[in-house]
């Protein structure tokens, strides 16, 4: 599948029908804008409840999400600082194609995109044309 440097992406298990994602082959790990994160145990399984504001510059539309925490990763932010983030595993949909990816949760309010898809999520699935945007119809 050929995609551009930004695409409309779905995260159906999180209840996010459509979010604008930046395709970033320079980033190893994917990241989702998440606030009000609360980790808890349910029958011995670590889970996280969090809120996503999927639309940039919209502080009212939000989705309350809940997922199992599958890992914790140290991620070097663009500022150079290292941050330890919870990791969830969820299906991602671009166009009519879906697959499982790992996504770290962090506050991306100051960033241009609420979702960043890194190269681990893209490997062996897509070809990125950095000169194009929104190549896949949803």
Q: Which pTM was predicted? A: 0.91
Model pLDDT, residue 135: 87
Model pLDDT, residue 136: 86
The full set of domain ranges for the chain reads 2-129
Model pLDDT, residue 138: 59
Model pLDDT, residue 100: 95
Residues lower than pLDDT 70 in the chain = 138
Model pLDDT, residue 45: 96
The whole-angstrom separation of Cα 83 and Cα 32 is 14
% of the chain beyond a pLDDT of 90: 67
Collapsed DSSP state (helix, strand, coil) of residue 87: strand
Domain over 2-129 is classified CATH 3.90.1010.10: no
The whole-angstrom separation of Cα 67 and Cα 56 is 23
Cβ neighbors of 44 (< 8 A, separation 6 or more) are none
């Amino acid at each position: 599948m050929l995609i551009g440097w930004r695409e409309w992406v779905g995260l159906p298990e999180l209840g996010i029908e459509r979010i604008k994602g930046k395709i970033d082959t320079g980033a190893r790990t994917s990241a989702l804008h998440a606030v009000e994160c609360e980790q808890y145990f349910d029958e011995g399984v670590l889970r996280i409840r969090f809120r996503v504001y999927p639309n940039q510059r919209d502080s009212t539309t939000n989705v309350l999400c809940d997922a199992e925490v599958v890992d914790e990763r140290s991620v070097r932010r663009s500022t150079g600082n290292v941050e330890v983030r919870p990791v969830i595993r969820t299906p991602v949909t671009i166009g009519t194609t879906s697959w499982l990816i790992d996504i770290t949760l962090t506050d991306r309010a100051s960033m241009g995109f609420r979702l960043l898809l890194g190269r681990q999520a893209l490997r062996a699935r897509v070809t990125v044309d950095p000169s194009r945007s929104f190549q896949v119809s949803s």
